[in-house]
């Protein structure tokens, strides 16, 4: 089209961002376009770089290489990062229990200086919720809760009137560390009886071990090489009563925890994500029964519970890319 002075065409606007998802086992990075399509994606082992300076240097190099192979530096507007214990208010990763780097790491500033691009960071639970709101089950919702049930923990974030609720210090939504059993199981946080000690994979395995030890009936669980979400689920499909009971107890606890959460927040929906959802009906049926039993009567049957439809490997890079669009464009060369 003929150019008009003072009127820019779309090719003058940067139409791509970089989304980075940092976890203990792997770091995934992707170039995402304005429509939310992943243009290119790659990953590496986070634990290959126990020193944070080495990690940031390697990550920056790898990101720049992917960018050069896919449209070049000029096409990238900004960068969004998801990491455990990241504080979006300070741009720092603060005393992460689930990362190899100790203390307070000014991750956003370190990446910005190496890449020459604006960088925003947020913690993994907030990024998961942002991804669900932008691309997933929470699209169009203003009041909702996202709960991530993974191997070690149970994270969560909630939106209130269209905005993520961060709390006074940025730690709102720690439903995994609410007490569901007085003098219950010891938790990594130092307290006892936290919801995540029952409803993460770790908690599920502990429940299975306890039931196997108590049981006098034969069970397929005793023959398993390894107790995992998947192997216990497989035993449920084979009709193993004890395996079904492991999920019934876990679902009962989860339903009660979510009912307490919902009774305080009155969300339109609770969206479940993470490896625990792979158990399907074995976990979700007893969870729903327990939820309805414990939730405040005026919101009973008015709270939807959904399982995320986004791919596990893509959800958090997409969420991080959505965060990147929110940060003001920046360049060292301006």
Interface with Zn ion (CB under 5 A): 177, 187, 189, 191, 194
Smaller CB separation from Zn ion, 187 or 242? 187
Smaller CB separation from Zn ion, 112 or 177? 177
Q: At its nearest, how many Å lie between Zn ion and the CB of residue 174?
A: 8
Q: At its nearest, how many Å lie between Zn ion and the CB of residue 194?
A: 3
**Distance, CA of 153 to CA of 155 (rounded, Å):** 6
User: How crowded is the C-beta side of 135, counted as CA atoms within 13 Å?
Assistant: 22
Q: At its nearest, how many Å lie between Zn ion and the CB of residue 257?
A: 12
Smaller CB separation from Zn ion, 96 or 322? 96
Helices (H), the chain: 52-69, 107-115, 124-135, 196-199, 201-214, 229-237, 241-265, 281-294, 312-326
Q: At its nearest, how many Å lie between Zn ion and the CB of residue 191?
A: 5
Smaller CB separation from Zn ion, 90 or 178? 178
Instruction: With H, G, I as helix, E, B as strand and everything else as coil, classify residue 202.
Output: helix
User: DSSP of 269-325, one letter per residue?
Assistant: EEEEESGGGGGTHHHHHHHHHHHHHHS-GGGTT--EEEE--S-HHHHHHHHHHHHHH
Q: At its nearest, how many Å lie between Zn ion and the CB of residue 185?
A: 9
Q: At its nearest, how many Å lie between Zn ion and the CB of residue 198?
A: 11
* 3-state DSSP of 71-98: CCHHHEEEEEEEECCEECCCCEEECCCC
Smaller CB separation from Zn ion, 31 or 194? 194
**Distance, CA of 31 to CA of 318 (rounded, Å):** 9
Alpha-carbon 185 to chain mean position:
24
Residue with tokens 């709101």: 133
Smaller CB separation from Zn ion, 133 or 202? 202
């Amino acid at each position: 089209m003929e150019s008009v002075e003072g009127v820019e065409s779309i090719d003058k606007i940067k139409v791509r961002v970089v989304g980075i998802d940092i976890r203990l086992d792997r770091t995934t990075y992707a170039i995402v376009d304005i429509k939310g399509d992943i243009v290119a994606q790659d990953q590496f082992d986070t634990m290959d770089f126990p020193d944070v300076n080495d990690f940031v240097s390697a990550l920056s190099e790898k990101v720049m290489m992917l960018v050069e192979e896919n449209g070049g530096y000029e096409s990238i507007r900004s960068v969004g990062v998801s990491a455990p214990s990241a504080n979006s208010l300070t741009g720092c990763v603060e005393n992460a229990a689930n990362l190899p780097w100790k203390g307070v790491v000014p991750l956003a500033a370190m990446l910005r200086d190496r890449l020459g691009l604006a960088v925003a960071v947020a913690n993994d639970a907030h990024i998961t919720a942002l991804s669900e709101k932008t691309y997933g089950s929470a699209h169009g919702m203003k009041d909702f809760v996202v709960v991530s049930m993974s191997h070690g923990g149970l994270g969560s974030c909630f939106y209130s009137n269209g905005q993520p609720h961060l709390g006074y210090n940025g730690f709102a939504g720690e439903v995994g560390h609410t007490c569901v059993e007085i003098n219950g199981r010891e938790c990594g946080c130092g307290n006892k009886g936290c919801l995540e000690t029952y409803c993460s994979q770790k908690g599920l395995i502990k429940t299975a071990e306890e039931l196997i030890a108590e049981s006098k009936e034969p069970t397929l669980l005793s023959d398993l090489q390894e107790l995992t979400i998947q192997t216990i689920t497989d035993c449920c499909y084979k009709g193993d009563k004890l395996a079904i009971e492991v999920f019934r107890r876990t679902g009962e606890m989860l339903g009660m925890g979510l009912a307490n959460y919902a009774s305080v927040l009155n969300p339109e929906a609770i969206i479940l994500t993470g490896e625990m959802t792979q158990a399907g009906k074995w976990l979700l049926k007893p969870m729903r029964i327990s939820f309805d039993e414990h939730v405040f009567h005026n919101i009973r049957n008015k709270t939807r519970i959904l399982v995320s439809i986004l791919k596990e490997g893509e959800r958090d890079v997409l969420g991080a890319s959505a965060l990147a669009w929110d940060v003001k464009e920046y360049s060292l060369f301006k």
